[in-house]
Structure 1
Amino acid sequence: MDAPGDPEGPRPPGGDGRLAGVRETARRLSRDQLFVLISTASLNLGSMMCYSILGPFFPQEAEKKGASNTVIGMIFGSYALFELVASLVFGKYLVHVGAKFMFVAGMFVSGGVTILFGVLDQVPEGPIFIAMCFLVRVTDAISFAAAITASSSVLAKAFPNHVATVMGSLEIFSGLGLVLGPPLGGFLYQSFGYEMPFIFLGCALLLMVPLNMCILPNYESAPGKHSFWKLVTSPKVALIAFVINALSSCFGFLEPTLSLFVVEKFNLPAGYVGLVFLGLALSYTISSPLFGLLSDKMPHLRKWLLVFGSLITAGCYMLLGPVPVLHIKSQLWLLVLVSVINGISAGMSIFPTFPEILDCAYENGFEEGLSTLGLVSGLISAMWSVGAFVGPTLGGFLYEKIGFEWAAAVQGLWALTSGLAMGLFYLLEHSRRRRSKLHNILGTDGERAALLPDESQP
């Protein structure tokens, strides 16, 4: 959106007309649209804070309870694995369950299991502790998948012409959650112990539930006829899903590994480890509205934002360690700088994905409405979850075997491959369209030339 409170409404094509449409609709923000913004903002802020508080101190606590780095990575990764399955199910049956009920129920369960995570330090160490971590983490993943799938669908329904702009603007609250979660969790852990970060944030999320029950609109829609399979088998959608996988894997890789690397390499206490995550989260938060706005106002730029964002991300992960072949000494300021650039490149790639997949769905005959929005939201959440499972799981394993520097470079290769594949597809697509356009022009000229002799006859 151009400014806070910028509403949604039909916009005429063209640059000046589009700006005029935005200014005109700025005076017509409906109450339902405002409530959707408030509800989504509360979910993004609360859930991201609960999600991100584990990074600064949980790996060390889990090690004390007998969990290896590989198991810690699997605990982080299990969240994404079950979010993957749940997102596909919730996206398919969104209109049957009801978007509002799915949103509120998901937020309620997420707050409850966050509190339960705070009592796991009382569980006996070893297999029982590890099993309880998996159980609570999986439950949280399912509840979050329900809330975020419903949230994205309702948001796209309320703002059909400004999807990326609104999502990018609301990512400020997701970024704030990622920014505030690690340092707040780290300092609460240092000051009051293991339980307090989870109890505090879980209760905060539960307090948002009555608010959303009262204000969130209840959108109704008929079930659609199309499936995830038809959507994901489109070559363009499949490649965008690959980009999403690579980006989420890169993010997920940092969860179990970055805090351990920073503590080992720079000897920072837990409270300051959370601040290292700040560079990535803050730059992502600040850049998100800009890239969302660009995706809506300049649709022709979406493809290149996707491609170059992935390539820049790949470069960042080569420098994160840095990879030993570069012969660059690892320094804290360089780590923070690369994290800042990585946050910007991530926003560059992420926000064009929703409108790109949605446009592709409509081009392939999917009907407009909440049903298709649910499919797209569920698909994006599921594809993000695939990478978010592989990233921490593979990251924890590689960290043990080859060290942080090489493990980060492996993640960078994934982003590099996805960016190059996406760029090649767009170049081929552009070439096909040019040939098709030229063929149509030549065909029209040929038909006209064939008709000219007949037209000249008396």
Structure 2
Amino acid sequence: MWSQVVKTDKMSKPEVRCRLQLTQNNQETASARLQILTLISVASVNFSSMICYSILGPFFPNEAVKKGASQTVVGLIFGCYAICNLIGSLILGKYIVEIGAKFMLIMGLFVSSICTILFGLLDRVPAGPAFITLCFLVRSIDALGFAAAMTSSFAMTAKIFPNNVATGSLEMFTGLGLILGPPVGGWFYQSFGYEVPFLLLGCVLLLMVPFNIYVLPKIDADPSKDSFFRLLTHVKIVLICYVIFTLSAGLGFLDATLSLFAIEKFNLSPGYVGLIMLGLSLPYCLASPLMGYFTDKYPVTRSWFMVTGGMATAIGFCLLGPVPFLHIPSQLWLLVVMLGLIGFSLGMTALPTFPEIITCAFERGFDDGLSTLGMVSGLFGAVWSLGMFYGPIVGGLITQHLSFEWAAAVQGGLAFLAVIFTHALYSLWKHI
């Protein structure tokens, strides 16, 4: 009898190991499925949101001028989007756990889709104050929806892919949205008029809502007692925020001024302006996977990428016009090449910033959870929006009172200051 029990016990050990292995395999399968579903969902959000955001560049500034808006007012319309995005990112990033990351993302998509469709109907509004007021109103609400979608998107990606926060696969879809937005928007505007680009892409964004309700996984987490102010007590985080600010300020400046400059300087149609803007977004899209791999695999290279990318950005903006004191004539081929340089350097500089802030937050003792990731996402979105507010407004003012060439040079100077500060701080950090 005893020997039979012993034999049974010996036979049960392989069974236990088999069951443990089966459980482990099931957990790995569930984890892989969660990652795949999140990847599909976030990629669709990044792509659809960015394409709806970027379609304005080739034709809206010129259309707004026809409706009675000045260059400065056009800059303010772009800038109000950014300031509302800033406020929304901070608030939503702080309360992402209480609201729910999935609910926040889906509602953000829904609001953005409705606002995109409404923006396409603004050409029926009388020119002057009525048109300008509704532009501000619709863009402001759209910015809140965009802030909700992108803040939750960043946080969920960082939570489910903890070792691949900067992976360029998702950024490639962001780049694709930026790439397709200008040429698609410019071509549809030139072929079918003002309404069609917004109505078409707004409906596509609306279709993403039920898709993400089904696909997106739900993530539960506990709220954190930490705050944005504690994040900003870290000198390195403040510096990285300035780097982010310079990048988005440059992009915001180009959104509000490049199309008018290209149309007036080179007599181009909105469709061709959209193709020129490919020079900015295509290099970013192509470079993102490679940059993401290196910044994930070799975190020590992040500071090098930020410094090198910032220097390339500064050179690109100074030669974009080019700056008047260089006495180089404006040429279309030079404009396209410099846009390509800026697009490539944007990927080089921007991709390391988000994982660097997360690393600094964890070093400061922040909880390794969705709440912290939400705050970092909100901070990133807020600083990015601050640059998008500054860029169109200040760039528009300088362009209106001086020239596009001088305004571009100012953006290059901001990037050059970021290079100096970044290099100095990281060099100092190594000796502490």
What residue in structure 2 maps to residue 139 of structure 1?
141
Q: 1:26 to 1:170 in 2, by over 3 A?
A: farther
CA–CA separation in structure 2 for the residues paired with 1:87 and 1:50: 18
CA–CA separation in structure 1 for the residues paired with 2:297 and 2:187: 41
- Amino acid across the alignment from 1:291: M
- The equivalences for 1:172-251 within 5 A come to 172-251=172-251
- The equivalences for 1:245-260 within 5 A come to 245-260=245-260
Is the 1:311–1:420 contact (alpha carbons within 8 Å) kept by the matching residues of 2?
A: no
- The equivalences for 1:324-339 within 5 A come to 324-339=324-339
* Per-residue Cα deviation, 1:259-292 (whole angstroms, up to 9, x for no partner): 0110111111111110010011000000011111
- Amino acid across the alignment from 1:292: G
CA–CA separation in structure 2 for the residues paired with 1:368 and 1:119: 45
> Is residue 97 of structure 2 the alignment partner of residue 76 of structure 1?
no
The DSSP-based 3-state class of the residue aligned with 1:160 is: coil
Extract unaligned runs of 5+ from structure 1. Answer: 1-24, 433-458
Q: 1:120 to 1:318 in 2, by over 3 A?
A: same
- The equivalences for 1:254-333 within 5 A come to 254-333=254-333
What residue in structure 2 maps to residue 93 of structure 1?
95
What residue in structure 2 maps to residue 127 of structure 1?
129
What residue in structure 1 maps to residue 48 of structure 2?
46
The structural deviation recorded for 1:197 is 0.5
- The equivalences for 1:338-357 within 5 A come to 338-357=338-357
What residue in structure 1 maps to residue 399 of structure 2?
399
CA–CA separation in structure 2 for the residues paired with 1:28 and 1:340: 41
What residue in structure 1 maps to residue 13 of structure 2?
none
CA–CA separation in structure 2 for the residues paired with 1:292 and 1:182: 24
- Amino acid across the alignment from 1:80: A
CA–CA separation in structure 2 for the residues paired with 1:26 and 1:246: 41
CA–CA separation in structure 1 for the residues paired with 2:287 and 2:325: 31
The DSSP-based 3-state class of the residue aligned with 2:431 is: helix
- What is the percent sequence identity of the aligned residues? 57
The structural deviation recorded for 1:27 is 9.0
The DSSP-based 3-state class of the residue aligned with 1:30 is: helix
CA–CA separation in structure 1 for the residues paired with 2:216 and 2:373: 17
- Amino acid across the alignment from 1:30: A
* Per-residue Cα deviation, 1:371-429 (whole angstroms, up to 9, x for no partner): 11001110000010110100011111111011111110011101111111111101111
- Amino acid across the alignment from 1:333: W
Q: 1:327 to 1:29 in 2, by over 3 A?
A: farther
The structural deviation recorded for 1:431 is 1.8
Q: 1:27 to 1:104 in 2, by over 3 A?
A: closer
- Amino acid across the alignment from 2:96: L
Is the 1:118–1:194 contact (alpha carbons within 8 Å) kept by the matching residues of 2?
A: yes
CA–CA separation in structure 2 for the residues paired with 1:271 and 1:161: 41
- Amino acid across the alignment from 1:73: G
The structural deviation recorded for 1:29 is 6.4
The structural deviation recorded for 1:171 is 1.3
The structural deviation recorded for 1:26 is 11
State the superposition RMSD in angstroms: 1.3
What residue in structure 2 maps to residue 61 of structure 1?
63
Q: How many residues align?
A: 406
Equivalent position to 2:166, from 164, 167, 171: 164
Extract unaligned runs of 5+ from structure 2. Answer: 1-26
* Per-residue Cα deviation, 1:131-184 (whole angstroms, up to 9, x for no partner): 10000000110000000000011111110011112xx21111111111111111
- Amino acid across the alignment from 1:238: V
CA–CA separation in structure 2 for the residues paired with 1:306 and 1:212: 34
- Amino acid across the alignment from 1:250: G
CA–CA separation in structure 1 for the residues paired with 2:111 and 2:40: 20
- Amino acid across the alignment from 1:146: A
TM-score normalised by structure 2 residue count: 0.92
- Amino acid across the alignment from 2:365: G
Is the 1:65–1:126 contact (alpha carbons within 8 Å) kept by the matching residues of 2?
A: yes
What residue in structure 2 maps to residue 108 of structure 1?
110
TM-score normalised by structure 1 residue count: 0.87
- Amino acid across the alignment from 1:207: L
- The equivalences for 1:436-447 within 5 A come to none
What residue in structure 1 maps to residue 410 of structure 2?
410
The structural deviation recorded for 1:330 is 1.0
CA–CA separation in structure 1 for the residues paired with 2:233 and 2:134: 37
